[in-house]
Amino acid sequence: MLSNNNEHALQFALSLADTGEPTGRYERRLIGMHDHWLTEAEADEQIIFYQGIKDEQGYNRYLSQEANLVALYLELHRCAPLQVFQESEEQFQALDDVPELIQQVTLGTREKAYYIFYSPLFDSIFTSAHDVAVVLYMLNNEAKPRAEYTIAQLVKAHHLYMLH
């Protein structure tokens, strides 16, 4: 269960799950395989999603990006255990099982299930997104520079990019 000092993360997750839009103060970033915001023409050519794979080359490209994302989450989890939002129970739960983490990330990247993870260490929320990507919400403005720098280094180390 979530401790009282993380109540803001719970309220944020409840709003996100309920309306699709977060409430409160936060900074949003996109973590993914593209090093810049795509134009419409680029998006038509470069966005990949599991259901749209048409050939072996596309499948291999997809799996490579999915593996990068899974590796990033495993590294974040090694830094400090992630918590997963359980919508039915309206609370965060400790995510102790690494295979469960991998499964949730994989289902999220394949757009089969939506996840919300909380990192107490970085006071940040990570959610699944389209195009084998993650939306990062940094909740604590005072800790944001340190958290953003550290997360950006982990993102880069896993061959991904963080866009503002």
Q: Quote the CA–CA distance of 66 and 86 in Å, as a whole number.
A: 23
Max Cα–Cα distance, the chain, nearest Å = 49
Query: Which pLDDT tens digit goes with each residue over 102-132?
Result: 999 999 999 899 999 999 999 999 999 988 8
Residue 50 has pLDDT above 70, yes or no: yes
pTM over 0.85: yes
Nearest Cα to 145, choosing from 120, 129, 111, 122? 122
Q: What is the DSSP letter of 67?
A: H
Q: Quote the CA–CA distance of 138 and 34 in Å, as a whole number.
A: 20
Q: Quote the CA–CA distance of 68 and 157 in Å, as a whole number.
A: 9
| Amino acid at site 160 | L
